[in-house]
Structure 1
Amino acid sequence: MNYETGVVSETPTSLEGDYGIAAEDKPFYRNWKFIAGIIAALIIAAVAFALLTAEETPVGDDNSGAPTVTVIMPGTTTVEGKITAPGTLQARREMPVGVVGEGGRVISVPVDAGAWVRQGQVLAVIDRSVQTQQASSASAQIEVAKADAQLAQNNLDRALQLVERGFISKADVDRLTATRDAARARVQVAQAQYRELLARNARLNIVAPASGLLLERNVEPGQTVSAGSAPLFRIAKGGEMELMARVSEDQIGGLSVGVTAEVVPAGTEKAFSGQVWQLSPVIDPQDRQGVARIALAYAPQLRPGGFATATINSGTVVAPILPESAILSDDEGSFVFVVGEENKVVRRAIKTGFVSAAGVVVESGLTGTEKVVLRAGGFLNEGETINPSLLKAAGDK
């Protein structure tokens, strides 16, 4: 008989007997727990992502495909109104000083620009050698006239004594009296001419008409000057300065004389306190601006002709305040995006005011109750649907 022979295990493998798993499937069975753990982890991650996404979606919005955009309701805030205006510094009361008399050759200039001068102080001395001789001649003429007057008086006195004796007629006495009076008049004329020369000579020297800061010196020794020539000196009376701040037509209407201002010259961060002392009564038809003149005390940093910027207090205003990120601008002006009906983006034109530490003051265009797009305005289009996420503003009331 033919028998097939082979090696057969006497003890069957437990997996083969108990679970019916073939020997060739043993590697898969060893890794099934590892694969099951990976699948469970993926399921947990998917559930967590779904929960987080559900928390970020604003409550009550059905626009699942619309972008979520942060909006702000600014409300209204009471702030100190301020107007920022550029301008040019100049002397508040500038005094040009020129030749008062007939002029002549300048022989001395004892002052220089930047010096403080007092009223009546000599700024320039003009040669007066000829005028001095003229004054001496006039003084001598006075003495001659006095001598003639005395002689005329003596002749009259003698004639009066002879009249009583009948040696001189009444007509002769009248003639001698007239001669005496004419001699006295010539004395007065000579004295007046002398005083005139003295006054002319006094005006040769150029003096300061008032105390103040000498801004310009336009004359040197040896120069010949005459009446009608350009001013030789310029003085800031009392050293007082001012800023000619240029403000718009609508801004100047909100200002009044006496309001305070802070002036910062170009090239420095130091601020100087001043006060509006005059408002321009006219508006420049070219640029539609007026001038607010801000009085300033003397300071070395305030130089006439320099550029400065003024921040003028214009009273308190109640208006919305927005962060700069919420305000956009184009050729039509400044605007913001607000949330309209059905959460659609609506463009709203606004007029901005000054910039404070809290943000930009919106003078018109908003009431403060609108929902304004905070940051993403540059990526939105008017009419686009969004999911607004409200961020509470510090200025809410």
Structure 2
Amino acid sequence: MTMRRNLTSAAAIAGAGMMALTLHACGGKPAPAEEAAAAEKTDTADAQSMRITHVELRDLSDEVRATGRLVVREEAAVGSELAGYRVSRVYVDEGDWVKQGQALAQLDDTLLQAQIAQAEATLATQKATVTFRRSQLDRAESLAKEGAVSQAALDQSRMEAASSEASLLASQANVNEMKVRQSRMTLRAPVAGAVLQRALRPGDISGGSATPYFRIARDGLIELDAEMPDTALAHVKIGDTVSVTLGTGETITGKVRFISPRVDSNTNLGRARVALPFDANLRPGSFAEARFNAASAGVLSVPASAIRYESGGASVMVVDDKNMVKQTPVKLGQRAGDFVELVEGPAAGARVLATGSAFTLDGDVIKPIDGAAAQPAATPGGQ
């Protein structure tokens, strides 16, 4: 009996060995899918846990500060095209308010009046000559019909009559030109407004300088010429309310009237004109600071901490469906609080690392932790 049991055990062991050899010969190892899953499980186990956030559409609102100088909204220059006349009187000074058409200065027209009188006398003589030449022409034409005057004499009378009429027209034009010049001897304000500058004194000779005699701020309107980065300028709109702080510390409210379509290529600064309410105390050239409420509705944005800055520019670390990290360049817009706008970059809903870690590289696999879930819930009463 003992010998039979030993033989039975030996047969069982031999059968098991043969089965193992058969399985090994038939390639009885784990399937590739199982190996990949096992490898991924190992990689995930070894991956670093990192907090992620999402690219989302948000309404951003932020205050943009800009500085600039007060300038005249529209300036009128007053000069004279008449040269060689002495200034006899100046009626206004800097800071005065003038009406449209109001006299600003008077040039001495004594010599011009004498010239006009002489020209008018010449005109009267020309009129008499024309009358005489016409009567001679009428007489010559009557005699020519009777054959008492030759054709040459008739042609001569016609030429003299035409010449006298031409001289009359020239004399009339000369008188008209002098009277126009006389009307411009009084310098008048082309617009209503405040006199900013006066560069004319009694006794000066007109036409001796290219500098305007007077500079007038039309309607006395002053505005702020504000400079700001082009990224901020893109969010400013015509009609936006602006708070302007003057050099005196006084704060007034204005509205954006004009946005320049051009940006300085050297400074990347653009300009916006802010219309200010009329105030006689506003002085062009003064320094002022403006605060714009730049708002954007529904723009792609991420937390500012997610932006990674390198020599090549700004970027974010996008996390794909396999939790693999890929560095993606972005173009930034305005910043509002803890968020920054993505002008160019990943689409809404994309997962990105909540912090632009410099130690995370392309192709790294992480264990993502949603940023919202990672934050502890607030307890009642803030405890």
TM range (shorter): 0.5 to 0.7
Q: Is the 8 A contact 1:352 1:363 kept in 2?
A: no
Aligned pairs (5 A) from 1:303-342: 303-316=283-296
Alpha-carbon distance between aligned partners in 2 of 1:162 and 1:268, rounded to the nearest angstrom: 95
Please name the residue that 2:238 is paired with: 257
The partner residue of 1:101 within 73, 82, 86 is 82
Alpha-carbon distance between aligned partners in 1 of 2:217 and 2:339, rounded to the nearest angstrom: 40
Secondary structure at the residue paired with 2:263?
A: coil
Q: Deviations over 1:2-28 (max 9, x none)?
A: xxxxxxxxxxxxxxxxxxxxxxxxxxx
Say whether 1:302 aligns with 2:302: no
Alpha-carbon distance between aligned partners in 1 of 2:303 and 2:278, rounded to the nearest angstrom: 37
1:316–1:77: structure 2 CA closer, same or farther, 3 Å change rule? Answer: same
Alpha-carbon distance between aligned partners in 2 of 1:313 and 1:321, rounded to the nearest angstrom: 20
Q: Is the 8 A contact 2:83 2:205 kept in 1?
A: no
Please name the residue that 2:340 is paired with: 364
| Distance apart, 1:222 and its partner CA | 1.8
Alpha-carbon distance between aligned partners in 2 of 1:316 and 1:364, rounded to the nearest angstrom: 11
Q: Is the 8 A contact 2:90 2:202 kept in 1?
A: yes
Q: Is the 8 A contact 1:215 1:234 kept in 2?
A: yes
Structure 2, unaligned runs of 5 or more: 1-56, 305-331, 342-350, 356-374
Alpha-carbon distance between aligned partners in 2 of 1:291 and 1:95, rounded to the nearest angstrom: 22
Aligned pairs (5 A) from 1:228-247: 228-247=209-228
Please name the residue that 1:266 is paired with: 247
Q: Deviations over 1:23-62 (max 9, x none)?
A: xxxxxxxxxxxxxxxxxxxxxxxxxxxxxxxxxxxxxxxx
Q: Is the 8 A contact 1:242 1:293 kept in 2?
A: yes
Q: Deviations over 1:104-147 (max 9, x none)?
A: 22111111222222333221111111111111111111101111
Alpha-carbon distance between aligned partners in 2 of 1:100 and 1:128, rounded to the nearest angstrom: 14
The partner residue of 1:113 within 88, 94, 110 is 94
User: For residue 153 of structure 2, what is the amino acid of its counterpart?
Assistant: D
Q: Is the 8 A contact 1:274 1:297 kept in 2?
A: no
Please name the residue that 1:161 is paired with: 142
> Once structures 1 and 2 are overlaid, which stretch shifts more, 90-99 or 311-320?
311-320
| Distance apart, 1:171 and its partner CA | 2.5
The partner residue of 1:279 within 260, 271, 275 is 260
Q: Is the 8 A contact 1:274 1:296 kept in 2?
A: yes
| Distance apart, 1:251 and its partner CA | 1.3
Please name the residue that 2:310 is paired with: none
Identity of aligned residues (%): 29
Please name the residue that 1:194 is paired with: 175
> Once structures 1 and 2 are overlaid, which stretch shifts more, 155-164 or 140-149?
155-164
Alpha-carbon distance between aligned partners in 2 of 1:113 and 1:99, rounded to the nearest angstrom: 18
Q: Is the 8 A contact 1:239 1:297 kept in 2?
A: no
Let me know the Cα RMSD of the aligned residues.
3.6
- TM-score, normalised to structure 1, is 0.59
Say whether 1:174 aligns with 2:155: yes
Q: Is the 8 A contact 2:241 2:253 kept in 1?
A: no
1:127–1:390: structure 2 CA closer, same or farther, 3 Å change rule? Answer: farther
User: For residue 273 of structure 1, what is the amino acid of its counterpart?
Assistant: G
Q: Deviations over 1:256-279 (max 9, x none)?
A: 333332222111323132223122
Q: Is the 8 A contact 2:227 2:272 kept in 1?
A: yes
1:243–1:284: structure 2 CA closer, same or farther, 3 Å change rule? Answer: farther
| Distance apart, 1:179 and its partner CA | 0.8
Q: Is the 8 A contact 1:275 1:295 kept in 2?
A: yes
Please name the residue that 1:374 is paired with: none
- TM-score, normalised to structure 2, is 0.61
Please name the residue that 1:288 is paired with: 268
Secondary structure at the residue paired with 1:209?
A: coil
Q: Deviations over 1:79-119 (max 9, x none)?
A: 64321111100101122222222142211111122222233
| Distance apart, 1:241 and its partner CA | 1.7
| Distance apart, 1:188 and its partner CA | 0.6
Please name the residue that 2:34 is paired with: none
Alpha-carbon distance between aligned partners in 1 of 2:88 and 2:377, rounded to the nearest angstrom: 78
Secondary structure at the residue paired with 2:281?
A: coil
Secondary structure at the residue paired with 1:171?
A: helix
Alpha-carbon distance between aligned partners in 2 of 1:218 and 1:362, rounded to the nearest angstrom: 55
Secondary structure at the residue paired with 1:264?
A: strand
Secondary structure at the residue paired with 1:224?
A: coil
| Distance apart, 1:170 and its partner CA | 2.7
Q: Is the 8 A contact 1:101 1:227 kept in 2?
A: no
1:321–1:119: structure 2 CA closer, same or farther, 3 Å change rule? Answer: farther
Q: Is the 8 A contact 1:249 1:283 kept in 2?
A: no
Answer with 1 or 2: which has the greater Rg.
1
User: For residue 364 of structure 1, what is the amino acid of its counterpart?
Assistant: V
Structure 1, unaligned runs of 5 or more: 1-75, 323-350, 355-359, 372-388
Please name the residue that 1:216 is paired with: 197
